[in-house]
Amino acid sequence: MRNIKLTIQYDGTNYSGWQSQKNSLAIQDIVEASLKKLTGQRHRLIGAARTDAGVHAKGQVANFKTESRLPLTNIRDGLNHNLPPDIVIENARHVALDFHSRYDAKSKYYRYSVYTQKPVSPFYKNFVAPVPRKLDLRAIKRESKVLLGRHDFSSFQGSNSKRLNPVRNIYRLELKRSGLFLHFDIEADGFLYTMVRTIIGTLIGVGRGRLKEGSVKKILRERKRSLAGPTAPARGLSLIKVRY
């Protein structure tokens, strides 16, 4: 028996997210179907992050156990041969039998990208959220510092979240400008349902002047989703790396 770790990249535009769901097409379904075609056996992938519909990944991680003796290069290349062009297996590696992609993860690093000009270039439209209005970047940076550290993020989770423990530890939250792009880089020990996108929607509200200084601290303290900003569009979010 072998335990194989896959690093996967995908454009999530046409999928219902990573995790298999009834009556929808998920990335997990596509990769598992490719595995079955390659090995002749059904395998269940364990994904590190449950990216939502429309969210992308540069460094999603999944593992599966198999009795197949195919070399790792054959697994990677065979999977890619069967996969659609918007899903790519970057590499395949052996890991310990007790390795678990989700539970062994130490942190997850996401990037949310904003495009500051309208119309959005067709080269970027699936991967950015358009915010052509001028934002107060200094105010965003000041307010974002409140979110660093270990907190109850109830105010920033989706109303239908099933997570019983809303406490998470954000290690990094940075805003960077690169030409017409604004990149929000956020890394934490884990995230609640739509937590990243709600944080971004709230901070954009700060940048537009809709939320005054001190608002983020109050939102965090009150633990009410209704106080936070709107959930930012999924297309601007990408899972960059899972750290172990």
- Catalytic positions are 52
Query: Is the CB of residue 30 less than 8 Å from the CB of residue 64?
Result: no
Distance CA 238, CA 77 (A): 24
Please state the separation of Cα 187 from the chain's center in Å. 10
Residue 170: partners with Cβ closer than 8 Å, 6 or more residues away = 147, 148, 149, 151, 186, 187, 188
Q: How far apart are CA 77 and CA 225, in angstroms?
A: 44
Overall size of the chain counted in residues: 244
